[in-house]
Amino acid sequence: MNREYLQGVIPRFAGTRVMVIGDLMADKYLWGSASRLSPEAPVPVVRVSHEEYKLGGAANVANNVRTLGAEVYLCGVVGYDDAAHWFRKAAREVGIDTSGIFPSEHRPTTLKVRVMSLDYNQQLLRVDYESIEPFTNSEFATVKKYIESYIDTVDAVILSDYDKGVFKNPALVRGVIELTQRRRTITVVDARSPNPQLFSNTTLVTLSTHEIQELAHEPARRQIDNICDLGNKMSKAMKSQALVIIHGEEELFLFVKDHDRHHRFPIPKTTFHDVAGMRDTIVSVMALSLHSGADFEVAGYLASIAAGKVLAKVGTATVTGDELIQALKLRKD
């Protein structure tokens, strides 16, 4: 691919307006050293030195969109709790519009607490606070009204599905897609739902190798031929313009509607630290690239480069436009 053309796509991210709808999460990291085992049980004792908070789930998608230079509107539900207070504050600090974040009396803010080793830069334990129940009628009505109010002001919509309740109401999913179809708005979906056919007739859907094998009731094999065969079948079933299969931290497979062959994008090998948030980066880069005039192949290539940058970072991370341009300059292909 022409390097100058690729680098020219990224500055066009600026000014793009993106609505991110999905499961909102707060990520808390407890950093410390584990130098001994507990006398109470065969588990390490971690002496915490500091703690860190990050935006997670759909909020990390929004954060990626923002750090790449675009304007973002985030829509979802949090609880009435301390995590929600921190979440809103963190979102505002990074420039995310929070008018679409609504409180719920029926669920806590989804919070993932990770205990991290300072010595090895790796995760020792994770504790989750969450509800995976579908939206109540009042939550559905509130979110629906917000989406309808803002849909005409945005250039792209990202549906970030972590299977925590937001998209368990088919009426919400189909309602959003009908709105974006009528307006021909780019709609990118990161689908973890057990029924991704709900997201048919969108611009792009992403699934992991494991998810697509489960959907096809195939053994959990990782052979490339098997992935390509399943991808072709699922691409036709999804009825979306394109499908991306994320093959671990190794590569992306792109299947485009009415194209005879697929595209394969290896994720650049880097010093691997953490896979957390990689999918968020992929959907963010692809949505912004497609709105900026790139075709699916260019968008997939840029997303694979961005994924490599995020994998080299510890914890839930984002990538900037400057980092992406620099990574392209260093490429030898």
Domain contains 214: yes
Domain contains 51: no
Domain contains 127: no
Residue 222: predicted pLDDT = 60
Domain contains 41: no
Cα dihedral 280/215/197/243 (nearest 10):
50
Which residue among the candidates 97, 274, 280, 333 is catalytic per the annotation? 280
Cα–Cα distance between 330 and 317 in angstroms, integer? 21
Residue 1: predicted pLDDT = 73
The question of whether 280 is a catalytic residue gets the answer yes
Domain contains 117: no
Residue 221: predicted pLDDT = 58
Domain contains 21: yes
Residue 108: predicted pLDDT = 95
The series of mean pLDDT values per 10 residues for the chain, 333 residues long, is 85 95 94 91 92 92 96 96 94 93 94 91 91 90 94 96 89 92 94 80 92 73 74 83 92 90 88 78 97 96 94 86 89 71
Q: Which residues pair with 27 in a beta bridge?
A: 54, 112
Domain contains 116: no
Residue 121: predicted pLDDT = 80
Domain contains 160: yes
CATH number at residue 300: 3.40.1190.20
Residue 223: predicted pLDDT = 66
Cα–Cα distance between 40 and 42 in angstroms, integer? 7
Cα–Cα distance between 45 and 246 in angstroms, integer? 35
Domain residues for the domain of 89 are 3-28+56-109+132-330
Q: How many domains would you assign to the chain?
A: 1
